[in-house]
Chain A
Amino acid sequence: MAQPLDYRTLEAAATWYVQLNAKQPNEAQLQAWQDWLGKNQAHAQAWARVEKLQRQLGNLPADVALPTLAGVRARRRAVLKTLAMLMAVGATGWAVRESTPGQAMMAELRTGKGERRQVRLSDGSQLELNTDSAVDIHFDGEYRQVHLHRGEIMVQTASDPAARPFEVQTAEGRVRALGTRFSVRSDDGRSQVSVLQHAVEIRPVDNPLLMLRLDAGQSAHFDHQRISPAHTAAPGSGAWTQGMLTVIEWRLADFVSELRRYRPGVLRCAGDVADLRLSGAFRIDDTDTILENLSASLPVKVRYLTRYWVSIEPA
C-alpha cells in the first residue's frame, strides 16, 4: 500500500539522483544507492517517482520544449538573432543572404545534439548540418568558403556566375568542390569526405603540395599531413540527410559511439557486448526507440539509470 512520502525521503531520492547523474558512478556508489533503495519501502516508492518524472521529461523534444518553457522574451531574442543572418524560404529550409549586395556575407550556424538543419546560401548552394555541428560561412568577392569546426555537413553546390571557387575548410585541410554534392565530417583530428556527384579535391593543411581528387562514389579521410587512398564510399554514408543511419555488420561499440553523436548524456556499452555485430537502417531522430529495440535483435539489455545515463549490458 502506497504511503504518503515525507519531504526528507523525497529530498534523499533527489540527492541520489543528482549525485548519480553527476558523472559515471563507481561500483561503491551504485552499491550504496542499492542499499538505500532496499532499506525501506518509502525509498523505493520515492525512486519510482524519480523515474516517473524522468519518463515525463523524456516525452519532450528539447529543441522545441526549451524555448517554449524558457519564455516569450528569450524566444523572441533567439528568433531575432537568427533572422538577422537567415531568411526563411518556405517550409523546407533557410536562406542566408547578404544584407546589402556585394557586401561580404558571414554567418554562423550550429546544431545541437539530435538536431539537423538545412540552409540555402546566397549563391543558391545548399548546406545541410548534421547533429552537433558548427560552421562559419564566409562569402566574399573571390571565395565561397565554409569552415567546418566540428560535426558533419552535406554540400550541394550551385554554379556561381562570378565563378568563385567553393571550399570547405576543416582543421585538417581544404576540400574544393568541382560542381558537386559531397559530405565532410570532422572530428578527433580527422576529416572524412564522401562524394555523391562529380568530384572534389582534397589538400591537407600542412602539406599543400599533396592533392587527391575524389570522384562520385568515392570516400577518403585525411589529417593535417596525409590523405588515405580513395576507396568506395560505404553504402548509406549520406543517409543522415534523410534522418537515417545505415550500418552493415558494425561492432556494437562502434554503433553506440555513432549514436552518442545524436544523443546528449552518457551512453555506455559494456565490454562483454562490444563485439556483437549488427546491421540495419535506423531512424536517428529517435535514439530512444533504437535503444528500446536493441534488445530484440541482440542479447543485450538497456538499463536507464537516469534519462541521460544509459548503459547497454549483457542480457
Chain B
Amino acid sequence: MSAPDHAALHTLYSEHNGWLKNWLRARLGNASDAADLAQDTFIRVLTARNVHAIREPRSYLGAIAHALMVDKFRRKALEQAYLAELATRPERLADSPETRLLILETLVAVDTLLDGLGERTRQIFLAVQLEGLNYVTTAERMGVSVTTVKKHLIRAMTHCLLLTDD
C-alpha cells in the first residue's frame, strides 16, 4: 500500500468510523457486533485498494456495511437451518467440526451464488447438481420439458460462472 493510500484510509477511518459504528448499532441493536462489522467494513475498503476513488464516503461505507450485515444474517440463517438438519440425521453427528465448518462455508458460498436466480431456476439447478437427478426426472418433477430444464441449467450455470473467481 502506498503512503498516500495509507493517509487517505487513515482520514476515512478517523472521520467516519464513529458515524459507521452508530449507523450499525442502530440497525443491529448491539454495540459489540456493530464494532466488529465496522472493523470488517474498513478491512474491505483496505483490500479493495480504491480509497482515492471514493467520492461519497458515507454512502460507500454504508453500502459495504449493509452487504456485510446481509452476509451475516444469511450466514446465521443458514447455520441454523444446517444445524436443524443435522439434528434429524444422527449419522451425520460424527462429522468433525472441521468438516462441518467447510460444509457451512460452502453452503454460504453456494447460497450467495444462487441468490440472483429465480425460484424455478434454483430448484432445477439444485435437483441436477446436488441431488444428482437426470434431466428427464427433473423435467417430470418440475412439470416442464427437458429443453426447459436445460435452458434453466445454462442460465444458472452461467450466473454461477460469472461470480466464480479464476
The residues of A with any CB-CB pair to B shorter than 8 Å are: 2, 5, 7, 10-11, 13-15, 17-19, 21-23, 45-46, 48-50, 52-53, 56-57, 59-72, 75, 79, 82, 91-93, 112-113, 116-117, 264-265, 307-308
Contacts and interface: CB of A to CB of B under 8 A. Distances in A.
A64 B82 contact: yes
A66 B126 contact: yes
Contact of B103 (A18, A45, A48, A60): A60
A22 B135 contact: yes
Contacts of B102: 59
Nearest to B151: A18
A212 B92 CA distance: 39
A134 B103 CA distance: 28
A45 B110 contact: no
A10 B158 contact: yes
Interface in B106-159: 106-107, 109-111, 114, 123, 126, 128-135, 150, 153-154, 157-158
A56 B109 contact: yes
Nearest to B114: A69
B86 interface: yes
Contacts of B129: 57, 307
A82 B90 CA distance: 14
A99 B161 CA distance: 50
Considering residues A2, A19, A53, A69, which has the most beta carbons from chain B within 10 angstroms of its beta carbon? A69
Contact of B158 (A11, A69, A93): A11
Nearest to A60: B106
A264 B130 CA distance: 9
